[in-house]
Structure 1
Amino acid sequence: MLILVRHAHAGDKRLWPFGDVDRPLSSRGQQQAEGLARQLGGLPVTRLVTSPYRRCRQTLAPLSEVLDLEPELSALLAPDAGLDEAEEMLLDTGADGSLFCTHGELLNGLLRRWRADARVEVPAAPDTTAKGGSWIVERSGGRAVAHYLKPLRVVDLRGAEGAQAAAQ
């Protein structure tokens, strides 16, 4: 098993006055990062690998604390990284147990490729990965299947817990 994550919400890059590498998560993105830690914190993840971009590092910060793992930086996960090199890293059997945080450009390109060549079975929907969304890729018997997890914000969890408490 490996997990692919698109970084959480970071606002509009056209409105960020500095370099895109340094664009931080928005408050919505911070909530998505916390939701990601709740969604994935119980899975057998042994390694965190992230794009060096600030928003990717921040996306993994809560999960890093939960798992007590220090994220590794990889330029192969940057938005302008080559699909071939990134795919080679992700599909290597040594990637089992790893979680990779990247950008929509790279992630959606990989998913389109995998749908086209059936190297990884990827459902047709969604055709793009939402910010803060993730894909769990399970491998068994030479077959790989990807499952999508929608982004979850902690605010959504608190709202659901509050609604459940009120209903009881």
Structure 2
Amino acid sequence: MLLIQRSSDPEEILLGEFDVIAAGAIPWRIEDGELQVLVIHRPRYDDWSWPKGKLDPGESIPECAVREVREEVGLTVRLGIPLEATAYTVNSKAKVVYYWAAQLANGAEPSVDGNECDEARWVGAKQAKSMLTNPTDSLPLDDLHDAHLAGQLETRSFMLVRHAKAKPRANWTREEGQRPLAATGRRQALAVARLLECWQPEHVATSPWLRCLQTITPYVTAHDIKPKMVNSMTEHAAQRKPEKTVKSLGKLLDKVRSQVLCTHRPVLPLILPLISARAPQAVRKLLPTADPFLEPGGTIVLQQPAGEHERIVSIEIHAPFAD
């Protein structure tokens, strides 16, 4: 099972096998109308690069990216669009580094500890490219700069989650809407919450059935969010009135805000075509087209340009936590 698939990555990344996996982000801001990015100097390597590092045990790739920015420059970020990953060989091992854009408000300043990073500078994109020591580090910067020119850099995240693993249907004799998560599913729900933290959705919508509610409970509890119950996102409602289910998704997407929707496997083939219709071919080709579409606890992350509900500019698929 692939841990991650992203519309920003070339085929050699999507299909490649890597010995070492790392992640990072390019913090950016607009200062006096100019795009600026944060480059860092690492004394261990005596190079200029981006905040990045290898995965800790049990950590997802987006979690690693957020942690590395926090540890290296003292900034807590919310991930934006995915940027092209880089791959190269280190000590005869194939290594991949996944990157995201991370918008910061004006006035946010880094704090370095002098160990992993001893200097951080806000510079224009052109100057950053001339400073980078490793030529491959220019790939995600080029992605970021192109997105800025296209008006696709400032975005809002929409996250689609299939509920975590539930108790087997065959062993459940009571009301279907009350079928709860299995023990594995409860652990997956905690992992879903950790993943959501990387994008920090401020709004949560969900099917009111228990297994969906239990999937998003760790996140909404941590953030004191009252989830919106969407009755049309249950399995039964989707079967009886599929057009209403699709309409409900459209209304959520039209809000263009940071949000997450938790629903069921049988709902996915109804709503994925609407997502596909709002994305360009290069982006929508990543969407799953065959059952089960997502594994239990799996997540699709979409990015919508601020104020443009008809466009989806990137898609990511994240595999669920597995024991």
User: Is 1:143 matched up with 2:299?
Assistant: no
Letter in 2 for 1:152: F
Pick the aligned partner of 1:90 from 243, 249, 257.
249
User: Is 1:130 matched up with 2:298?
Assistant: no
SS of 1:48 mapped into structure 2: strand
Task: For 1:30 and 1:67, locate their aligned partners in 2 and report how far apart those are by CA, in whole Å.
Answer: 18
Residue 234 of structure 2 contacts residue 263 of structure 2 at CA under 8 Å; is this kept in 1? yes
Gaps spanning 5+ residues in structure 2: where?
Answer: 1-156
Letter in 1 for 2:264: H
Q: Residue 126 and residue 29 in structure 1: after superposition, are their counterparts in 2 closer, same or farther (change >3 A)?
A: farther
Task: For 2:222 and 2:185, locate their aligned partners in 1 and report how far apart those are by CA, in whole Å.
Answer: 18
SS of 2:171 mapped into structure 1: coil
Cα deviation, residue 138, structure 1: 1.1
The equivalences for 1:1-168 within 5 A come to 1-80=157-236, 81=238, 82-92=241-251, 93-111=254-272, 113-114=273-274, 118-120=277-279, 121-125=284-288, 127=290, 128-140=293-305, 142-144=310-312, 145-153=314-322
Select the structure with the greater relative contact order (CA < 8 A; seq sep ≥ 6): 1
Q: Residue 94 and residue 143 in structure 1: after superposition, are their counterparts in 2 closer, same or farther (change >3 A)?
A: closer
Q: Residue 118 and residue 8 in structure 1: after superposition, are their counterparts in 2 closer, same or farther (change >3 A)?
A: same
* Structure with more helix by fraction: 1
Task: For 1:70 and 1:124, locate their aligned partners in 2 and report how far apart those are by CA, in whole Å.
Answer: 29
Task: For 1:48 and 1:5, locate their aligned partners in 2 and report how far apart those are by CA, in whole Å.
Answer: 11
Cα deviation, residue 95, structure 1: 5.0
Aligned length: 152
Aligned-pair RMSD on alpha carbons?
2.2
* Fraction of identical pairs, as percent: 26
TM-score (norm 1): 0.79
SS of 2:255 mapped into structure 1: helix
Residue 122 of structure 1 contacts residue 146 of structure 1 at CA under 8 Å; is this kept in 2? no
- Match in the other structure for 2:8: none
1:62-97 CA-partner distances (Å, limit 9, x unpaired) = 111222212121102111324433333333321521
Q: Residue 90 and residue 146 in structure 1: after superposition, are their counterparts in 2 closer, same or farther (change >3 A)?
A: farther
* Structure with more strand by fraction: 2
Query: Which structure's CA Rg is the greater one?
Result: 2
Residue 123 of structure 1 contacts residue 146 of structure 1 at CA under 8 Å; is this kept in 2? yes
Task: For 2:256 and 2:175, locate their aligned partners in 1 and report how far apart those are by CA, in whole Å.
Answer: 31
TM-score (norm 2): 0.43
Gaps spanning 5+ residues in structure 1: where?
Answer: 157-168
